[in-house]
Structure 1
Amino acid sequence: MKIGIFFGGPSREREISFAGGRTVYDNLDKALFQPVPVFVDSRGNFILLDWHYIYKGTIRDFYPPVSALPASEHKLQVYLESLGELTTEEQDRIISEVGRRILPHELAGLMDFAFLALHGPGGEDGAIQGLLEWYGIPYSGSGILPSAFGIDKIAQKNLLKALHRPTPDFRIITAEEWDEANPVATLDYLVRELGLPLVFKAPRQGSSIGVSILREASVEKFQAAIERSLFRKTLSREEWQGLSGRERLAWVQQLTDIREGIGLPVVLDEETTIIYHPDNLIDTLNMKFEAAEQVRLTNVDGEARVLVESCVAGREFSCIVVEDPQGNPLALPPTEIVKGEEMFDYRSKYLPGLSRKVTPIDLPEADIQRIREACEEMFRTFGFQVYARLDGFFSPLKSEEAENQIFLNDPNTTSGMLPASFFFHQAAEIGLNPSQFLTYLIRTSLAARRRGGMHPVRLGQLLKQLDEAVASRQHEERQRTKVAVIMGGYSSERHISVESGRNIYEKLSSSVKYEPVPIFLTGSAQEHKLYVLPINVMLKDNADDIREKIEHAEAGHSLHPVLERIRRDADAITSTYAGQPTAQPRRISFEELAEMADEVFIALHGRPGEDGALQKELEQYGLPYNGSGVESSSVTINKFETNRRLREAGLRVAEHRLATRLEWDADPEGFYRSLETQFHYPFIAKPSDDGCSSAVKKIKNRAELEAFTRLIFRSQEDLMPAEATTLHLGFKEEFPQKDVFLVETLIERDGAKHFLEITGGLLTHWGADGKLVIEVFEASEALATGEVLSLEEKFLAGEGQNITPARYAPEPAERQRISDEVKQELRRVAEVLHIEGYARIDAFVRVRETGAVEVLIIEVNSLPGMTPATCIFHQTALNGYTPYDFIDRILEFGKERNAKRELAKN
């Protein structure tokens, strides 16, 4: 069955939609379905996307393509709407570089079914559902009416009030009312009517966009909250002129971020001139503030109303409800959202480690059941179909006799579909992996569309064919290669490692060749502990949640009674679609690992994983593995030793030295002065033996140097607040404890005509003569929003900005000449360090006026991140490798190397 996957779209959630569409594309059961990627751009064009663009980190990495971008002083990445008004012919030229335009009447000929991974307006509001209905194409999720209702928070509130269901009190403020209002009087009225805190929402947006909480009666903060929900921003001349040039650029970047800012295009004050591009916005503000005291920016697609609610105090949860095979709602185990910040905002929802998800919510069984029943009732009341995500609060009442109240709000007819989202997370609790859950939802959606009267005969035939295919698949016997995917660890990169491991698992599990087995590694450098993970534990939010579940199982805790009940209720689903029942995590030895797996994929980053220790243990049991061998890994994990060897081989690296705790303990002042004498501020400080981007900091003064030193040499686990503040550590940013760190000169432009940071991947294979051949890919240009590239920017969907291939020069021939020189330098790095399998090398590139190319190596990663968004997949796609092909090549190389090793022994 051909499945059209619709993703992207015009909404502010387009990046999450893009990443979710990729998840669906990868996880569809290839024995049952053929995916057809339909990318929807921000103007609503349908594009049959070339497959390799699916694996870009963000939409802006490929669309609009570099060739379509106007000349830009600041070279910021932008969305299509920032190109201004385009003719159909101009749009067609842009579209042709990434795929081909699909006209609506062509859709029915390309697909049997549409899987909607779109979010927000244009995706969840009934618009796309209506179009598909018109052309008779069955689609996933709710129909037109429940979708239109599900996007409208005000309509939902009115219905809940009319039905006397518990919902926070609310008021509506229109944009016109706000323009005429007295802010002080309006705030007094709202506080009097609703109390504090107040919650402000953009009523037709999804996913916590345009949402804020006001906890004090501050008129200034009140105005900011209203503006956030209307997607406006008022700026004074004093504020703007108080910013440096770099700070103005950062301010505009944040303002135009579609997730956390107001986005583009905008209008100023009451003017009709539309500003599309960030560069134009900066120029316009500079000009305006020559005379104006303040300006107001308004997004042209902002909101016309603000929903203001009283704030509910209580336990926040989210619950996926699906239809069972009989069409009745079945609530999966509700998940409690344990927040590190006051509001479960966009970043907290989608970045692993920023919030914790506890499933089921930690409440008495009777209360959990009440939450489930309330969610099922709302599902019926709102007429939802197939599935929905319902969010709410469990609010304790002061009276001991009264039942605690359950407030349901903001239902979503399309949930986020990242690998560890609530969508897959809760389905895993009944034993369905992502591939199986998607199959069930497609089947349920077909049945829902048929019930609604869409082509009953044709959809009846599709249902019968799918049921027969699923039944025969359940009885297939396949001999597949068993691959143990080791993820987790105990370093500051453990959450990224889990993301990598899950991605490898999902790519392999939908293939016909491999059967992946998820293995979690924890423990310490002295003892590596291995655990086989059931699917529900593998899909927990992050590494710490997985470790907690393992500890829970080891303590002898039995399955939660609510989970037992839900699994019984879901038996009709799981008996047909799940391959095996869920189980508890189980500890295994390396000997047992060798008995259960044919080979190993190490998805760990930093220590352990990239240091050779784990490789040494695997070699003892004859297990093939990915990446470099023991000796090479032990060198590349050590940044100081890597730099030393590369410099001795004539390659360019930064000036560097080690800074030890012994020196600091003996004479702190002498320690600081020694570093300041050798390295002028600013310079780079980072761990000498950890993975990429972990605690890499640009040190600009003595205070920051002292803070960095005290943090990295600290004896306690917790961070010191003052030092963390001095270094501007991000929310939940981790900082390792070490006895030594590396100090390097800051690599700068140094007068070069062109200067950029790149990351380049490579793959090795054996030549016909038995010698190692190194295939170096086109490098990606990495754009950091801060002083250094963060973990999130490197690996998480929608966060990083990468351009592949790197923009070394505007002329194609010159760009290729420079690229070839860069690739030759990266190949030399691999040869000097004896890298095998695959790797990622980070570097800076300077291009002089003379055309001379200088490549300065930053670091080498022998086990690069393999998250869905990492740029190594962008690079391999240019050489014709799908992510699965790339992973398959890596595994095959490991097997061949192991065979050579065994042959040499004999």
Structure 2
Amino acid sequence: MRIGIIFGGQSREREISFAGGRTVYDNLNKTLFTPVPIFIDSLGNFILLDWQYLYKGTIRDFYPSAEHLPHSPHFFQVYAESLQNEPDRLEKSMAAVGQKITPDQLSKHIDFAFLALHGPYGEDGNIQGILEWYGIPYSGAGILPSSIGIDKEVQKRVLKTAGFETPKSTSIERSQWLTSQSAVIQNLEREFSYPMVIKAPHQGSSIGVSIAQDKNSLLAGLNRSFFIESIDIASWKAKSDEQKRNFLVTFTDIREGLGFPVLVDGEMVYHPENLWELLDQSKESTLKLESPNGEALVLVESFIEGREFSCIVIEDENGAPMALPPTEIKKRTDLFDYRSKYLPGISRKITPIDLPDQDIERIMRKSEALFTALHSQVYARIDGFFTAEGDIFLNDPNTTSGMLPSSFFFHQAAEIGFNPSQFLTYIISRSISARLNAGKKIYHLLTLAQTLRTSLQQAAAHQGEKIKVAVIMGGFSSERHISVESGRNIYEKLASSGKYLPIPIFLTGDETKHLLYQLPINIMLKDNADDIREKITQHSEVTHPVIAEIRKKAHHLMEQFAYEEALQLESLTYDELATRVDFAFIALHGRPGEDGAVQEQLELRDVPYNGSGVESSRISINKYDTNELLRANGILVADHMLVYQEEYQQNPEKTIESITSRFSLPLIAKPADDGCSSAVKKIKTREELVAFAEMMFRTQEAFLPEPMRTLNLKANEEFPQKNFFLVESLISAEGADKFLEITGGMLTHLQPDGSLSYEVFEPSEALASGEVLSLEEKFLAGEGQNITPARFADTAEGYAAIAKSVKETLEKTARTIQVEGYCRIDAFVRISGQQADTIIIEINSLPGMTPATAIFHQAALNNMKPYEFIDQIIQYGFARHQVEK
């Protein structure tokens, strides 16, 4: 069955839709379905997307394509709206990434549409109406519930009519706000007490929402929800060029800024460069900026003091609503906004919500009742609050849920035993039944349903033939959360294949003792490594009564759609692991994993594994030793030295003096023997250097307040405790024509004579929003900006010459360290004319394998889908193991 995954779209939540579409594409069971990516751009064009572009970090990384953007001296990545007055550029950009199609052509390419769109045009009945018109069955709710679900003001009226408790609310019209702001504020302050909740009513559940604590934040929140912003011209002109660019980068990001085009005192501006010029030339004291796609009215509600939850409701096999166990959302701030929802570690999810069983049941029954009242179909996400008085407020029904791997959608389904691939299969099956109820295309839908049933039976019969792969994730380094993201991604790619049966293994403990656990799917999909570890330590053999009851209700669904998934946590030894699996895929970052410790244990038990061997891993984990070895072999590296805790504590002043006398500020300080991103800092002052040393050498796990302030550390940032760290000279352009930060991946292949060949990928250019690339920018979908291939030159000939030189250095580096299997090497490149100097930063023997990491972009250019890339890594591990035996 050809499943068209429809994603992207015109709303401000298009990036999360893009990431969700990729999740669906990866997790669809490939023995049952052929996924077909249908990207809708922000102007409403349908594009049959070449699969390679699915693995870009953000939409703007590939569309509009860089070569078809207008000249921009500061290089801004923009959305298609910035080209809407340049149809030729837009058409060329579409042709560069796929095939433009019209809705009437969809049925030639797909049998069923899986909707991963969010917000306007996706959750409001628009796309559902188009698909109904052309007779294409689709996932989720139909036109009526979608049109109700998108409009928060209509929702309020439906909820009240149906007898549900709702917070006090009012609406503010745009014309009111623009003409009499002070009167609006006064009226609201008379009617409501602080805090107040402000919502843009048509923007999905994450955008244009804020909490006002006082008059100033109320004013700012209303402007934010109307998508209006005022710029103080004097403040703008006082900014440096770098500060101006950073401001406009944020402004272009539609999740946080107004985006483009933007109205500036009635004039439409389409590109950041044009706005920059306009602001520079303005003679006004302030300029008002408005989004032409802002809201006509905004909702203001009284703040509900209570425990926030979210509950997925699905239909059972008979079409009756069945609530999954509701999840409590523990936030670091009052607002569960876009970043809180989609970035791991910012908020926590507790399933089921920590309440007495009868209160959990009340939440579930109310959620089911609202599902029915809204005429919902297939599934919905119901958000709400549980107050101290025991009242339940349901406030935000969504007909489409976020579909990242740890989103509520998959998170709660995992509690009853569905892995993501299996749950998607059920949603497709149930959606076909929902479309049947509409009485259209009956024979076609019955045929699809029967085809799916037959395919499911055949797939179940072949489960025992699959290769069992332990996917080892977690660890105890500062990059353990990214390791979990990588491990889940590997698990999902393998679980949707017909070849492998992945078994999730969580590693914790310390360097003296590794503790291994086989995870049930519900624990694997917890938010991050610490949540998983906490769940392990607090684990009870007794299943929560509410979850046990839901599993009982869903028994028939599990028999038909879910199999081979462990439902209980199990502690394992390395010896026991070796008896259960055919291969171990190490998805760990930093220590252990990249240091050879896990590899050593697997070799003792004759278990083949991915990546480099013990000795190579031991070298590459130590950045100082790596630098020394590379420099001895004529490879450029930064000047470097180690700083030891014992020396520093004996004489801090002397240690700092020894550093600053050798290295000029700014310099780079980072852990010397761990992963690639945590606690990497650009040190600009002596005070920052002292603060870095104090933080690195602290004796307590908690952050030290003064160094934390000096280094501008976030409360949830990872900053390890070590007894030594590395200082490096800051690598800079030094007068080069071009200066780029790049990351380059590669695969190794065993030749018939036993020698190694290296398949070096086209490197990616990494664009940092701050002083150094953050962990999020490197690995999380929608956070980083990567250009693949890197912009080495303006001509094909120039690119080929420089890329050849860079790739030769990357290969020489990998051979020097004796990398095997695959790796990622980070570097800086100085380009002057046709000459390129490549300065190596570090080598990652187990690179991040999160869904949007750059190594997948690079493999795609070599015509490897992520699963195929992972399959090659596993096949090399088997081949090496065979040779060694």
Q: TM-score range by the shorter chain?
A: over 0.9
Correspondences of 1:91-130 after superposition (within 5 Å): 91-130=90-129
**Displacement after TM superposition at 1:410 (Å):** 1.5
Question: 1:246 — aligned with what?
Answer: 242
Q: Which amino acid aligns with 2:441?
A: H
Show CA shifts across 1:205-242 (max 9, x none): 013211110112x3x32221111101111112232233
Number of aligned positions between the proteins: 885
**Displacement after TM superposition at 1:191 (Å):** 2.5
Question: 2:371 — aligned with what?
Answer: 379
1:885 paired with 2:868, answer yes
Question: 2:21 — aligned with what?
Answer: 21
Q: Name the SS of the counterpart of 1:97 in structure 2.
A: helix
Pick aligned residue for 1:408 from 394, 398, 414: 394
Partners in 1 of 2:780 and 2:186 — Cα distance? 42
Question: 2:692 — aligned with what?
Answer: 708
Alpha carbons 1:430, 1:582 under 8 Å: kept: no
Pick aligned residue for 2:260 from 257, 264, 268: 264
Partners in 2 of 1:867 and 1:148 — Cα distance? 34
Partners in 1 of 2:290 and 2:180 — Cα distance? 18
**Displacement after TM superposition at 1:90 (Å):** 4.2
Alpha carbons 2:233, 2:279 under 8 Å: kept: no
Question: 1:10 — aligned with what?
Answer: 10
Alpha carbons 1:536, 1:582 under 8 Å: kept: no
1:596 paired with 2:588, answer no
Show CA shifts across 1:666-719 (max 9, x none): 111111111111111111000001101110000010121111111110000111
Question: 1:847 — aligned with what?
Answer: 831
Q: Name the SS of the counterpart of 2:870 in structure 1.
A: helix
**Displacement after TM superposition at 1:58 (Å):** 1.2
1:280 paired with 2:274, answer yes
**Displacement after TM superposition at 1:195 (Å):** 1.4
Question: 2:530 — aligned with what?
Answer: 544
Q: Which amino acid aligns with 2:350?
A: V
Q: Name the SS of the counterpart of 1:805 in structure 2.
A: coil
Partners in 2 of 1:197 and 1:74 — Cα distance? 40
Correspondences of 1:105-184 after superposition (within 5 Å): 105-183=104-182
**Displacement after TM superposition at 1:731 (Å):** 4.8
Question: 1:233 — aligned with what?
Answer: 229
1:339 paired with 2:331, answer yes
> Is the alpha carbon distance of 1:472 and 1:837 closer, same or farther for their aligned partners in structure 2, counting shifts above 3 Å?
closer
Question: 2:599 — aligned with what?
Answer: 615
Q: Which moved more, 1:464-473 or 1:260-269?
A: 464-473
1:304 paired with 2:317, answer no
Q: Which amino acid aligns with 1:21?
A: G
Show CA shifts across 1:836-855 (max 9, x none): 1100000000011x422110
Q: Which amino acid aligns with 2:368?
A: E
Partners in 1 of 2:632 and 2:563 — Cα distance? 55
Question: 1:188 — aligned with what?
Answer: 186
Partners in 2 of 1:768 and 1:578 — Cα distance? 42
Alpha carbons 1:495, 1:543 under 8 Å: kept: yes
Alpha carbons 2:176, 2:184 under 8 Å: kept: no
**Displacement after TM superposition at 1:461 (Å):** 2.1
Show CA shifts across 1:266-325 (max 9, x none): 0112x2x3111111111111111xx20111111111112111111000000011000111
Correspondences of 1:445-484 after superposition (within 5 Å): 445-484=431-470
Partners in 2 of 1:396 and 1:582 — Cα distance? 36
Q: Which amino acid aligns with 1:562?
A: V
Partners in 2 of 1:84 and 1:44 — Cα distance? 11
Partners in 1 of 2:272 and 2:667 — Cα distance? 30
Correspondences of 1:708-857 after superposition (within 5 Å): 708-848=692-832, 850-857=833-840
Partners in 2 of 1:129 and 1:416 — Cα distance? 18
Partners in 2 of 1:890 and 1:471 — Cα distance? 30
Partners in 1 of 2:312 and 2:850 — Cα distance? 25
Pick aligned residue for 1:348 from 340, 347, 350: 340
> Is the alpha carbon distance of 1:640 and 1:581 closer, same or farther for their aligned partners in structure 2, counting shifts above 3 Å?
closer
1:651 paired with 2:645, answer no
Q: Which amino acid aligns with 1:752?
A: A
Q: Name the SS of the counterpart of 2:3 in structure 1.
A: strand
Show CA shifts across 1:541-565 (max 9, x none): 1111111111122xx4521111011
**Displacement after TM superposition at 1:368 (Å):** 0.3
Q: Output the aligned Cα RMSD.
A: 1.2
Q: Name the SS of the counterpart of 2:874 in structure 1.
A: helix
Partners in 1 of 2:555 and 2:97 — Cα distance? 43
Q: Name the SS of the counterpart of 1:226 in structure 2.
A: helix
1:293 paired with 2:276, answer no
Show CA shifts across 1:494-521 (max 9, x none): 1110110011111111112211111000
Partners in 1 of 2:226 and 2:25 — Cα distance? 34
Correspondences of 1:360-509 after superposition (within 5 Å): 360-397=352-389, 404-509=390-495
**Displacement after TM superposition at 1:197 (Å):** 0.5
1:212 paired with 2:242, answer no
Correspondences of 1:618-637 after superposition (within 5 Å): 618-637=602-621
Q: Which moved more, 1:417-426 or 1:256-265?
A: 256-265
Q: Name the SS of the counterpart of 2:676 in structure 1.
A: coil
Partners in 2 of 1:156 and 1:38 — Cα distance? 30
Correspondences of 1:660-675 after superposition (within 5 Å): 660-675=644-659
**Displacement after TM superposition at 1:162 (Å):** 3.1
Partners in 2 of 1:853 and 1:581 — Cα distance? 51
Q: Name the SS of the counterpart of 2:782 in structure 1.
A: coil
Q: Which amino acid aligns with 1:697?
A: K
**Displacement after TM superposition at 1:581 (Å):** 6.1
Question: 2:351 — aligned with what?
Answer: 359
Alpha carbons 1:640, 1:688 under 8 Å: kept: yes
Q: Name the SS of the counterpart of 2:73 in structure 1.
A: coil
Q: Which amino acid aligns with 2:337?
A: D
Q: Which amino acid aligns with 1:143?
A: G
Alpha carbons 1:757, 1:781 under 8 Å: kept: yes
Alpha carbons 2:624, 2:642 under 8 Å: kept: yes
Correspondences of 1:59-74 after superposition (within 5 Å): 59-74=59-74
Show CA shifts across 1:394-414 (max 9, x none): 0112xxxxxx11111121111
Q: Name the SS of the counterpart of 1:674 in structure 2.
A: helix
Q: TM-score w.r.t. structure 1 length?
A: 0.96
Question: 2:35 — aligned with what?
Answer: 35
Partners in 2 of 1:159 and 1:446 — Cα distance? 27
Question: 2:850 — aligned with what?
Answer: 867
**Displacement after TM superposition at 1:721 (Å):** 2.6
Partners in 1 of 2:84 and 2:279 — Cα distance? 18
Question: 1:400 — aligned with what?
Answer: none
Partners in 1 of 2:434 and 2:347 — Cα distance? 34
Q: TM-score w.r.t. structure 2 length?
A: 0.99
Partners in 2 of 1:415 and 1:71 — Cα distance? 38
1:574 paired with 2:572, answer no
Correspondences of 1:83-94 after superposition (within 5 Å): 83-87=83-87, 89-94=88-93
1:535 paired with 2:521, answer yes
> Is the alpha carbon distance of 1:447 and 1:641 closer, same or farther for their aligned partners in structure 2, counting shifts above 3 Å?
same
Question: 1:876 — aligned with what?
Answer: 859
Alpha carbons 2:589, 2:846 under 8 Å: kept: yes
Partners in 2 of 1:561 and 1:459 — Cα distance? 38
Alpha carbons 2:521, 2:565 under 8 Å: kept: no
**Displacement after TM superposition at 1:189 (Å):** 2.2
Partners in 2 of 1:134 and 1:208 — Cα distance? 30
Q: Name the SS of the counterpart of 2:880 in structure 1.
A: helix
Question: 1:50 — aligned with what?
Answer: 50
Sequence identity of aligned pairs in percent?
56
